[in-house]
Amino acid sequence: MYLVVVLFVLGSAAGFQGFDRLDLPENHIPYYFNSFPEVADKCRQEDGCPYKDKLDTKKCWGYEFGCKPADSFARPVCLGEHKGWVKSKEDQINTFYSQGDFGYIRDQLHEMSVMCEPYFKEDSSLECSKHLRFCRGRNIMINFTSLVNRKERLRYKMDVLSEGDIGGHCRLHKQRLMDECDHISPLQSWGPELRLFSERDKVPIGNDCDVIVEKPTYLMKIDASVNMYHHFCDFFNLYASQHVNSSHPDTFSKDVHMLIWESYTYYSSFTSAWDVFTKHKLWDLNTFKGKVVCFKNLVFPLLPRMIFGLYYNTPLIWGCQKSGLFSAFSQHLLHRLKIPRHKVEDKRLRVTLLSRDTTYRNILNEKELIASLKNNTNYHVRRVVYNRNMPFTKQLEITHNSDIFIGIHGAGLTHLLFLPDWAVIFELYNCEDEGCYYDLARLRGVKYMTWKDKTKLKQQDKGHHPDGGAHAKFTNYEFDVKEFLRLVGLAAKYIKEQESYKEFLRADLHDEL
């Protein structure tokens, strides 16, 4: 299930300038809401549209040509040391901005170059960013005829297509394309598919196709749909890709198709997250098996396992947090899924403890920890089990209405993406995987805490990795109650100091703080 990702230092970007671009950056629209009055009006009328306060300002996302940092949606906060990677504070901010914020989108846009050039307006075309991480095409033919002969089920496969199975009527820059086919691995780039791209004699539509797909279609090579951390990496990259292609008012339209690049029937507890992106039924490779299909508008989105991609294994500079791209993703998702924000009636902090119903990484003295929290009248405590018995949107609702979210290391902590801005994520114990949720919390801009004093926790046994051997993730834990309360107390103190929290209370309780 988990693919190995090899990190290596990328070569210089020299020699990649001066390519003709179809429509970037000159025609790229600077101010999203101002450029498209109909989009702004819709937001104005819509209940809970997260961008209402940006409508009559010059705000831009940050990647647009001509968008000034001061006008951008958000800037990262870099209070800490950078630990020697860069020279100045400004460098540190910019580095984080490129690694994990809208700067990442900006770089994709700058890298975009034409791989297959149209001869005339209605012709085929293909453009991609470096290493074929993101591409988009018009009037593209994909020949799925030979899939009828495939007996095995397809997932993480690089040989879904063969030479000539994908192409269009346009002038192919073969060498340019091949030069970018250097990340050949199923979920790292579109190289495995696009290295097979070929020129067709005629415009495919009207000549080759059994099926014509008029609406924009996203090809989705997804990671593990059973695991929230990995599957949300798919959704996150889909959202980021919409920004890469955001030069028109329909950027976030749900009238688009999703074609999952697998012949397994899609199943996931997180299925409802697709409602954010499409109102149509999901397609997979079986949908078109045996057919020649022409896509008028095709998007090859950013992928979940890209080298230096987001957010799996992303190298992040020290000392910075709060990515606007991540908070925009969180807001967009909560808004589209209509996750309500509850009014509070008192000043108690809402503490949620995520309990696992799994064999490993259980809290052995969970009852005791819960009782100790409940004994404190400043906390409103809730123990939850997020499994298939609770709809995913209900889970999000609980998370979104929590101030302190506590759980032991596990994919469920990905819920931190949907906490309010002032919240604390308390990874009770990280099971020796230190970076994973710490970095995700930094990107999202919520405060991260974890257990430090190992003398105050008891590991049940050495752990039993399925492949044999000891492993900190394959056992259970008991925690010292006093130390636990002390840490939760620190979280509570932090939250009460946050301006955003004070404002939130003020709005609901109408009293002086």
Ligand X SMILES: *[C@@H]1O[C@H](CO)[C@@H](O)[C@H](O)[C@H]1NC(C)=O
Report the residue number, 386 or 484, with the smaller CB distance to ligand X: 484
CB of 162 to ligand X, least distance (A): 7
Sign of CA dihedral 492, 493, 496, 497: negative
Q: Give the C-alpha separation, 301 to 288, whole Å.
A: 20
Tell me whether the omega of the peptide bond preceding residue 267 falls within 30 degrees of 0, making it cis.
Answer: no
Query: Cα–chain-centroid distance for residue 355?
Result: 24
> Which of these ranges, 65-73, 96-104, 241-249, 308-316, lies near ligand X under the rule CB under 6 A?
241-249
126 is an interface residue for ligand X by CB under 6 A: no
Report the residue number, 331 or 372, with the smaller CB distance to ligand X: 372
Helix axes 324-336, 102-111, angle to 10 degrees: 100
Report the residue number, 145 or 362, with the smaller CB distance to ligand X: 145
CB of 249 to ligand X, least distance (A): 10
Quote the Cα angle for 311-315-319, to 5°. 105
Q: Give the C-alpha separation, 134 to 111, whole Å.
A: 10
CB of 135 to ligand X, least distance (A): 11
Q: With 0-12 CB in 10 A as exposed, 13-18 as middle and 19+ as buried, what is 289?
A: middle
Torsion-angle region of 61 (φ positive above 0: left; ψ -120 to 50: alpha; else: beta): alpha
**Three-class SS state of 115:** strand
Report the residue number, 286 or 372, with the smaller CB distance to ligand X: 372
Residue from 125, 297, 395, 402 binding ligand X (CB under 6 A): 297
CB 411 within 8 Å of CB 436:
no
Q: With 0-12 CB in 10 A as exposed, 13-18 as middle and 19+ as buried, what is 433?
A: middle
372 is an interface residue for ligand X by CB under 6 A: yes
Task: For 359-510, list the strands marked E by DSSP.
Answer: 379-385, 404-407, 424-427, 447-450, 457-459, 477-479
CB of 406 to ligand X, least distance (A): 16
Q: Give the C-alpha separation, 74 to 500, whole Å.
A: 15
> Which of these ranges, 7-15, 30-38, 243-251, 386-394, lies near ligand X under the rule CB under 6 A?
243-251
Residue among 141, 257, 129, 151 nearest 196 (CA): 141
With contacts defined by CB under 6 A, how many residues of the chain interact with ligand X? 19
CB of 348 to ligand X, least distance (A): 16
CB of 205 to ligand X, least distance (A): 12
CA gyration radius, the chain: 24
Q: Give the C-alpha separation, 77 to 97, whole Å.
A: 10
CB of 108 to ligand X, least distance (A): 13
CB of 43 to ligand X, least distance (A): 18
Residue from 30, 50, 216, 249 binding ligand X (CB under 6 A): 216
Residue from 113, 129, 139, 143 binding ligand X (CB under 6 A): 143
Subset of residues 245 to 264 that bind ligand X, contact rule: CB under 6 A: 245, 247-248, 250-251, 256
CB of 474 to ligand X, least distance (A): 30
> Which of these ranges, 185-193, 244-252, 269-277, 397-405, lies near ligand X under the rule CB under 6 A?
244-252
Residue from 13, 23, 48, 503 binding ligand X (CB under 6 A): 23
Interstrand relation of 283-284 and 77-78 (parallel, antiparallel or unpaired):
unpaired
378 is an interface residue for ligand X by CB under 6 A: no
CB 117 within 8 Å of CB 125:
yes
> Which of these ranges, 55-63, 242-250, 276-284, 463-471, lies near ligand X under the rule CB under 6 A?
242-250
Report the residue number, 226 or 371, with the smaller CB distance to ligand X: 371
Residue from 208, 421, 433, 480 binding ligand X (CB under 6 A): 208
CB of 28 to ligand X, least distance (A): 9
Binding site for ligand X (CB under 6 A): 23, 136, 143, 145-146, 208, 216, 245, 247-248, 250-251, 256, 292, 297, 299, 371-372, 375
